[in-house]
Amino acid sequence: MIASPCVNICQIDPVSRLCLGCRRSLDEIARWASMAPAERQRVMAELPGRPLPSPAKHQAHARNGGAAD
């Protein structure tokens, strides 16, 4: 079984909509336990290439009242 990538930093980035700790989407987090091993492997392979949160984007997001840039 493929272990969860969770690192117990469970906060969703308001811009990317990814978890700040593991970089998974809410859908991926919710479905993790029921995913087939191949799907888990695919997600794990994609995680390193996913964007890290950008402080500049967060500041712009906050200035816009949470509106999309």
Of 2-11, 32-41, 54-63, the least confident: 54-63
DSSP label at residue 49: G
Q: Return d(Cα 69, Cα 58) in angstroms, integer.
A: 10
Q: Return d(Cα 20, Cα 11) in angstroms, integer.
A: 5
- pTM value is 0.75
Tens of pLDDT, residue by residue over 14-51, are 888 999 999 999 999 999 999 999 999 999 999 999 98
Q: Nearest-CA neighbor of 5 among 52, 58, 34, 45?
A: 45
Q: Where are the domains of the chain?
A: 7-51
